[in-house]
Amino acid sequence: MSTALNLAKPQAPAQREHKSFSDLVRAKVSSVLVGKKADDFVTSLVSLMNQDPALKNCTPMSLISAALQAQSLNLSLNKVLGQAWVVPFKDKKISEINPATGEPFLMASFQIGYKGYLQLAIRSGQYRKINVLSIKDGELLQYDPLNEELHTDLIQDDTIREETPTIGYYAMFEYMNGFRKTMYWSKAKMAAHADRFSPAFSLKAKGGRYPKVSFADFEAGKVNERDMWLYSSFWYKDFDGMAYKTMLRQILSKWGIMSVEMQQAYIADMHAVNEGGVTSDIVDAEYSEGDDSKAELPPAAPGEHIDMDTGEVTPKEPVPARAKAPVQAQPPVQKEERAVPTEPAPQPQQQNSQNPNAFPCPRTDGATMVTEADCEKCNQRTRCPEWAVDLPEEG
């Protein structure tokens, strides 16, 4: 009986091999979510990873923590709704390699969109009005920052207004008790703010290993399509959306009523949690500056090679040139062997001197006459420089 027990013990670990990602997530959130909530959370997280393959290379702890932040705030991670996102970025402090991809792990950060801030403000029940919008060229008549009065003449045609360049941004709210606050930033001020606080945004042109054009040139479309992976920050992809979010963060954090839920969102926004549960520095971009992991590197053009580790484009060396190298090195070797023969040349028959088909032997510098039959019997023919060369035609 004791023998049977000893034989059964080693079999238990074999049944627990290769836990699925869903099981790993359930184990991590078991103390927070149970039942249907846990199942819905796992389903939404797996769906999110399928939509954005770069998330599969994030550390499991940072990915689950970012998704739990959205869950706790009851904000959707659906990109269509625009309330919140889980964004991968490269953290230089992480050197651990993901065995599934062979690349360093990325970190996942939780980011709230301006629509998410609007949702949290409306839920608090403290605001009678709250709004944020862009001011187009020709609409601004006057803004009095002392009395916080904005005078505008808005373009009524929505199509024309959408096509008109933006010159600034306006945000306001009004409490249920009548307290009102407004704020206006010019687009130049907003761009300077992004340049200061977002490591992936550059207002002016930048050189270095990965040069960038200025923001003005980017808006004008003066960017090579192959370099678009350098402009993956939301400040490039959706400047107005990031500007709206910045305006709401500024006005609500300084003069708004911050509910517990709003405070939690404000602190968690644009941060990542590592494996030790420690919150990392703020991340205000989709990818940090100099990120060379870029999941969307453009395909190489004909005759070019892209280094997947650095993104550097170099001319591709033609394969035929490398294949011909050994052939070019053979002639010198043959000449050396010809100069120093190791074995004596064959002794031709005496009648070869009168044979009309005879020709001078190259290995004896023409001192003897040989025929094709003599060459066939010669044990040095594989080293003979004239072998395989057309012989004189028979008369």
The model's pLDDT over 260-281, given as tens digits with 9 standing for 90+, comes to 888 888 888 866 555 444 445 4
Residue 70 resides in a domain: yes
Residue 355 resides in a domain: yes
- How far is 210 from 392, CA to CA, in rounded Å? 66
Count CA atoms closer than 13 A to 148's CA, side-chain side. 11
* pLDDT band per the 50, 70, 90 thresholds, residue 93: confident
Q: What percent of the chain has pLDDT over 70?
A: 65
Rounded mean pLDDT of 94-108?
Answer: 79
Residue of 120 and 9 predicted with greater confidence: 120
pLDDT score of 304: 47
Residues 24 and 108 in one domain: yes
C-beta of residue 126 within 8 angstroms of C-beta of residue 259: yes
Rounded mean pLDDT of 129-152?
Answer: 94
Strands (E), the chain: 84-89, 107-112, 127-136, 140-144, 149-152, 166-175, 180-186, 271-272, 304-306, 313-315, 359-360, 369-370
Residues 28 and 99 in one domain: yes
Residue 62 resides in a domain: yes
Residue 3 resides in a domain: no
- How far is 90 from 294, CA to CA, in rounded Å? 9
Closest Cα partner for 117 from 127, 109, 107? 127
The domain total for the chain is: 2
Residue of 21 and 182 predicted with greater confidence: 182
* Domain range enclosing 37: 19-112+258-285
Residues 268 and 349 in one domain: no
Rounded mean pLDDT of 24-29?
Answer: 69
Residues 278 and 355 in one domain: no
Rounded mean pLDDT of 78-107?
Answer: 81
206 forms bridges with which residues in the sheet?
212
Residues 108 and 23 in one domain: yes
C-beta of residue 297 within 8 angstroms of C-beta of residue 291: no
Residues 344 and 276 in one domain: no
Residue 196 resides in a domain: no
- How far is 344 from 232, CA to CA, in rounded Å? 75
Residue 369 resides in a domain: yes
Residue 47 resides in a domain: yes
- How far is 326 from 310, CA to CA, in rounded Å? 32
Residue 172 resides in a domain: no
**Domain final position from 250, 285, 320:** 285
* pLDDT band per the 50, 70, 90 thresholds, residue 44: confident
Instruction: Flag the least confident range among 40-44, 149-153, 231-235.
Output: 40-44
- pLDDT tens digits, residue range 53-72? 888 888 888 888 888 888 88
- How far is 124 from 258, CA to CA, in rounded Å? 9
Residues 272 and 339 in one domain: no
Query: Which string of b and e fits 67-97 if b means at least 16 CB within 10 Å?
Result: bbbbbebebbbeeeeebbbbbbbbbeebeee
Instruction: Flag the least confident range among 74-88, 132-146, 177-191.
Output: 74-88
Instruction: Flag the least confident range among 75-79, 223-227, 233-237, 331-335.
Output: 331-335
Instruction: Flag the least confident range among 16-20, 138-142, 191-195, 306-310.
Output: 306-310
Residues 276 and 337 in one domain: no
pTM of the model: 0.62
